[in-house]
């Protein structure tokens, strides 16, 4: 009897441990602040996307989104205020893409969006729409209200691309877009 009770207790512990491991494995790819994929999860999805594009000849695009005006929020109001902005912007990005698309936080105030079945023109339109959605979002923090902008760079995924190559193109396009926005609005 005692041995059977010990076996049952060990079986229950094993079940609990397996559930905990499954939960931790699921969370390892999620940014705990924003609840979107983190860089690790994004890199896995990008590799999968590139393999799919190569195999089936489908179209996909990577948008690299950097927040404009985010640093002053952290500097003047603290990291908790910055965290509120990041959470809100992640939610805005998620609401403005399809369920099949992928949103990830890949850096401090940088996000990546993988868009499926889009060409260059549609990806550019989506990038502009995401920039507008971010800019039109107000984040309330105590007595303050913040509005940040976004600069989105677009890179199409090609059959011969490596993850590093497509990321580099999207990042370069984002910096070009950021420079273009600063030329138009020098105080932005």
Catalytic residues, which ones?
109
**What does DSSP assign to residue 74?**
H
Count CB neighbours of 64 within 10 A: 27
3-state secondary structure of 66: strand
Residues in the chain, total: 188
Task: Measure the CA dihedral 38/44/50/51, to 10°.
Answer: -160
Q: How far is CA 74 from the centre of its chain?
A: 20
């Amino acid at each position: 009897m005692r041995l059977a009770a010990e076996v049952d207790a060990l079986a229950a512990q094993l079940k609990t441990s397996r559930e905990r491991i499954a939960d931790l494995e699921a969370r390892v790819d999620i940014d705990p602040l924003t609840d979107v994929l983190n860089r690790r999860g994004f890199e896995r999805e990008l590799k999968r996307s590139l393999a799919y594009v190569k195999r089936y000849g489908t179209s996909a695009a990577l948008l690299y989104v950097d927040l404009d005006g985010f640093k002053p929020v952290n500097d003047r109001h603290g990291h908790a205020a910055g965290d509120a902005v990041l959470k809100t912007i992640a939610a805005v990005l998620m609401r403005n893409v399809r369920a099949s698309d992928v949103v990830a936080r890949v850096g401090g105030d940088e996000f990546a969006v993988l868009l499926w079945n889009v060409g260059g023109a549609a990806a550019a339109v989506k990038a502009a729409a995401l920039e507008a959605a971010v800019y039109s979002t107000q984040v309330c923090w105590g007595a303050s209200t913040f509005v940040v902008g976004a600069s989105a760079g677009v890179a199409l995924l090609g059959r011969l691309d490596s993850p590093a190559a497509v990321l580099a193109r999207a990042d370069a396009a984002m910096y070009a877009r950021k420079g273009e926005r600063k030329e138009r609005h020098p105080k932005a």
